[in-house]
Amino acid sequence: MSSIGLLQKRPFNSQRFWRQNGRLIAVYGLVVIMALIGVFFTERFLSERNLFNLLRQTAFLGVVALGQMLVVLTAGIDLSIGSLVRVSVLVSAILMSGDSNNTLPAILITLLLGAGIGFVHALLINRLNISPFIVTLASFVILRGVALTISTSPIGKASRETLLFYDQRVGPFSILFLLFVILIVTLIFVLRRTIFGRYVYAVGGNQEVARLAGIPVQRVRYGVYILCSLLASVCGLMWLSRMGVGDPVIADGLELTTITAVIIGGTSLFGGRGGVMGTIGGVLVLALLANLMVLLNVQQQYQGLIEGIVIVSSIALYNQDTH
């Protein structure tokens, strides 16, 4: 009898299954529905050009959304992402000045700039015990001012290699999208299989309990804020490869868009719950929404209304899911 009992499978618990996976299924179900709308209502949706551009734009938003997700998982937030992307574009364009010899130094300095700003964010939060919202809101304002101080019009020039990188392909896929996929796989491994990943969830779940358990809460914060800002600078370099010049008005509202993608994907704003695949689902929802509105010729005044409805609906789903 005992051996038979050991061989019996654990009974399927539908409530537990939906509690653990329902949000993820709902998000990707919405992605499928939106894709079907594109297939049936516009012929251009399945064109090679549109799908290529859609995946490439997904990479732009996805890179910074994943950085935002890391911070939110620790019950933090980063409101400076858009401003940092803007400064990164300007700095890298000025440093390159269209000279191929300046490409690598400009990239390294831009990435160091991003990592340094993330370090400062974590330093202020850790040492002065200031709310992440206040620290990154101040950074948002400061960096925006820095961008406008540098220039109020397009400035600098990308090198030839940087410009060519934007259109590079590996088979049918953009190299930007493939690098984004590598980032996804890397973060999934980090969060699921490394001590740092477990610490991130522990800090977000209950900071005081994590501290009493010996988890280095401050070091975890340094890690996530540096990674978040570093990915924002990566996005800035991606924008430079697209535009060819430093533009002080790009990435407006990007910080709110990334937070929306994170929320839609089921990551708790209180930390400790969420993950990469949910965030990617949120990114796909927003990317598909923007793509469909263009293909279906939705008027500009209605686009904001539709986007607002999606944001409010996602927050409502989040609140319902947490009760």
User: Which pLDDT tens digit goes with each residue over 180-225?
Assistant: 999 999 999 999 999 999 999 999 999 999 999 999 999 999 999 9
Rg (CA), the chain: 21
Locate the domains of the chain by residue range: 26-321
pLDDT at 234: 97
pLDDT at 10 over 80: no
pLDDT at 299: 84
For residue 169, the cross-strand partners are 174
Which SS3 state, helix, strand or coil, does residue 157 take?
coil
* Entry field: residues in the chain: 323
pLDDT at 305: 85
pLDDT at 289: 92
pLDDT at 295 over 70: yes
pLDDT at 125 over 80: yes
Specify which of 59-73, 267-281, 293-307 reaches the highest per-range mean pLDDT: 59-73
User: Can you tell me the distance from the alpha carbon of 92 to that of 102, in angstroms, rounded to the nearest whole number?
Assistant: 9
The model's pLDDT over 138-147, given as tens digits with 9 standing for 90+, comes to 999 999 999 9
Residue 37 vs residues 41, 43, 47, 102: alpha-carbon distances, Å: 6, 11, 14, 45
Which SS3 state, helix, strand or coil, does residue 1 take?
coil
Q: Locate 99 and state its tokens.
A: 């000279």
Q: Locate 220 and state its tokens.
A: 């975890």
> How does residue 307 score in pLDDT terms, banded at 50, 70 and 90?
confident
Rounded to an integer, what is the distance from CA 98 to the centroid of its chain?
29
For residues 222-235, average pLDDT: 97
Q: Provide the CATH topology of domain 26-321.
A: ABC transporter involved in vitamin B12 uptake, BtuC (1.10.3470)
Residue 225 vs residues 26, 147, 251: alpha-carbon distances, Å: 29, 21, 19
pLDDT at 2: 47
For residues 245-264, average pLDDT: 90
Residue 45 vs residues 34, 48, 233: alpha-carbon distances, Å: 11, 9, 31
pLDDT at 312: 73
For residues 5-19, average pLDDT: 57
Q: Which helix (H) or strand (E) segment is 153 a member of?
A: none
pLDDT at 23: 78
pLDDT at 27: 87
Q: What percent of the chain has pLDDT over 90?
A: 72
Backbone angles phi, psi at 256, to 5 degrees: -70, -35
pLDDT at 160 over 50: yes
Phi-psi label, residue 234: left if phi above 0, alpha if psi -120 to 50, beta otherwise: alpha
| Helix, strand counts (H, E) of the chain | 14, 2
User: Can you tell me the distance from the alpha carbon of 151 to that of 246, in angstroms, rounded to the nearest whole number?
Assistant: 9
pLDDT at 315: 61
> How does residue 1 score in pLDDT terms, banded at 50, 70 and 90?
very low
pLDDT at 6: 44
For residues 294-316, average pLDDT: 78
